[in-house]
């Protein structure tokens, strides 16, 4: 009782004494200094910062490359204009790693900071397609297509994170987490004879800013920057100095805010001077932090490259991601690894991409011959279609004498008498009787294989179906010459 009385008597006196102190003295007295970062901790946070930032920076460099044209050409188009590839990617395509070579692709980068973008899709006639909407962090935030929304005609508006307003009757709203948005579309095309029908669906897809919706308008010419590096975006990012990388990252966060679930990461980034909405200069941070940030690109990129190679569930020499792809939550390393290997990957419900880097414990080599054997009951379980694609060491489709970069169930494959299927992967023809099932390997060098399973069945999504192993075949001999 006496102690409580003394405390009550003393407290007013203490408060009065503090009130008489100058403001600066009071602040100095009450402030608690943040603990300084150790060199080890600074290095650890710097690596995390690079991994966290990588997809945002890579998407921006990809945007700059793909929009640096006056008019739509291939998959490149000015901002706010949709582009439709009229054929399949070939060896000249280098904007995105591991491109899909068995669908007609559509793409558009657009800006919702001033007004929404209104997108209209016609009836597809039952044809499989999807349009995925990705934010600048490479997360898929919305999907439209045969699986997600059916094949009837539809119109919707993509609105920015802060936009408030009214939309026309019959136009629904999809809110983007970031001001800049990437639309990536895939339309089923069953070979060259099917292109005209697929083009008709492409031509019916329209995208216009809200202020032009329902009005005749002609899109303006794009502004071409002759100084823009047009080389592979991932290579550009890999060459970026830490000064440019982190400054660009900070600038991009002003209009493309982090996701709500990123609070813990943002608290760590603040400790090295990186905060959303604020500019960043490497020269302004403490020497220990500066050294850590300068070392981050090389150290983090090694982790990013390994992340994709080691991601997913391993089975029979394949790795299959069934979680943390397309939407990543706080799995920032997985997100960065997917961005490095194939920016724009979709969610598993629409497409699953088993990837093989080696056969029987050895990396794929053009010097060897391989076969992928599907038993009658082992064929890929899909509701749309499947394909097998090959990529060279630069993650691009590989030149070959047939100009065949993918093979799948829409091709005229030759099945074995028991209903099984053999696909041959080698640089030389496996023989005229097997060429229908031949996916040519590069003339030299390493390569990787990817299966694409569009609208996979539940057996795939639950992991009950896995691809069979790729086997190395003995070299064939003609006389004394071995063909490998």
Q: Which of 260, 432, 232, 480 is nearest to 340 (CA)?
A: 232
243/250 Cα distance (integer angstroms)? 11
Number of neighbouring beta carbons within 10 Å of residue 228: 13
Structure tokens at 259: 């996701």
Structure tokens at 14: 């203490």
- pLDDT on residue 341: 84
Neighbouring residues of 213: CB distance < 8 A, sequence distance ≥ 6: 118, 168, 171
Structure tokens at 364: 């794929």
- pLDDT on residue 103: 86
pLDDT averages per 10-residue partition of the chain, 484 residues: 39 38 38 65 97 98 98 95 88 74 90 97 95 97 96 97 94 96 94 90 96 91 96 95 97 95 97 96 94 97 90 90 88 94 89 91 95 97 95 86 92 96 96 96 94 96 96 67 39
Architecture of the domain delimited by 69-212: Sandwich (2.60)
Asked whether 227 and 236 are in contact (CB, 8 A), the reply is no
Residue whose structure tokens are 């897809």: 205
Torsion of CA 101, 106, 112, 114, to 10 degrees: 140
Architecture of the domain delimited by 354-483: Sandwich (2.60)
Phi-psi region at 286: left, alpha or beta (left = phi > 0; alpha = psi -120 to 50) = beta
91/443 Cα distance (integer angstroms)? 13
Helix (H, G, I), strand (E, B) or coil at 11: helix
Residue spans of the domains in the chain: they are: 69-212, 354-483
Instruction: Evaluate whether 69-212 and 354-483 have a shared fold.
Output: no
Residue whose structure tokens are 């006196």: 13
- pLDDT on residue 481: 34
pTM: 0.82
Residue whose structure tokens are 């001077």: 273
Give the CA radius of gyration of the chain: 27
Asked whether 98 and 450 are in contact (CB, 8 A), the reply is yes
Residue 186 CB-density burial (10 A; 0-12 exposed, 13-18 middle, 19+ buried): buried
3-state secondary structure 359-409: ECCEECECCCEEEEEECCCCCCCECCCEEEEEEECCCCECCCCCCCCEEEC
């Amino acid at each position: 009782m006496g102690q409580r009385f003394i405390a009550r008597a003393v407290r007013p006196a203490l408060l009065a004494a503090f009130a008489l102190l100058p403001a600066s003295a009071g602040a100095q007295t009450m402030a608690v200094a943040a603990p300084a970062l150790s060199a080890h901790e600074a290095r650890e946070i710097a690596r995390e910062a690079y991994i966290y930032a990588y997809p945002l920076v890579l998407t921006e460099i990809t945007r700059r490359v793909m929009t640096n044209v006056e008019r739509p050409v291939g998959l490149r188009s000015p901002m706010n204009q949709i582009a439709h590839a009229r054929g399949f990617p070939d060896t000249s395509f280098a904007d995105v790693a591991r491109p899909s070579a068995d669908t007609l692709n559509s793409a558009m980068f657009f800006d919702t900071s001033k007004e929404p973008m209104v997108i209209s899709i016609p009836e597809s006639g039952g044809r499989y397609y999807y349009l995925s909407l990705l934010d600048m962090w490479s997360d898929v935030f919305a999907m439209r297509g045969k699986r997600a929304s059916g094949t009837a005609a539809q119109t919707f508006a993509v609105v920015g994170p802060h936009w408030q307003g009214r939309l026309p009757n019959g136009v629904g709203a999809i809110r983007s987490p970031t001001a800049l948005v990437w639309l990536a579309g895939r339309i089923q095309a069953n070979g060259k004879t099917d292109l005209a029908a697929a083009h008709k669906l492409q031509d019916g897809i329209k995208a216009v800013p809200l202020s032009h919706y329902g009005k005749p308008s002609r899109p303006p010419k794009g502004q071409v920057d002759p100084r823009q590096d047009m080389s592979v975006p991932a290579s550009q990012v890999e060459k970026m100095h830490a000064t440019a990388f982190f400054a660009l990252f900070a600038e991009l966060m002003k209009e493309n805010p982090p996701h709500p679930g990123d609070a813990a990461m943002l608290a760590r980034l603040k400790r090295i001077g990186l905060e959303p909405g604020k500019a960043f200069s490497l020269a302004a941070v403490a020497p220990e932090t500066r050294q850590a940030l300068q070392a981050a690109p090389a150290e983090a990129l090694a982790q990013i490259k390994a992340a994709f190679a080691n991601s997913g569930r391993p089975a029979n020499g394949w790795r299959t991601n069934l979680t943390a792809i397309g939407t990543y939550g706080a799995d920032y390393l997985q997100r960065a690894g997917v961005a490095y290997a194939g920016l724009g990957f979709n969610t598993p419900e629409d497409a699953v991409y088993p990837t093989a880097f080696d056969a029987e414990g050895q990396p794929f080599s053009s010097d060897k011959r391989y076969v992928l054997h599907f038993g009658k009951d082992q064929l890929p379980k899909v509701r749309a279609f499947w394909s097998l694609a090959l990529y060279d060491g630069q993650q691009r489709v590989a030149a070959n004498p047939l100009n065949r970069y993918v093979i799948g169930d829409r091709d005229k494959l030759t099945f074995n008498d028991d209903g099984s299927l053999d696909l041959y992967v080698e640089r030389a023809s496996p023989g005229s009787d097997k060429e229908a099932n031949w996916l040519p390997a590069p003339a030299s060098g390493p390569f990787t294989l990817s299966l694409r399973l569009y609208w996979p069945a539940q057996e795939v999504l639950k992991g009950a179906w896995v691809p069979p192993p790729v086997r190395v075949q003995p070299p064939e001999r003609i006389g004394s010459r071995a063909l490998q």
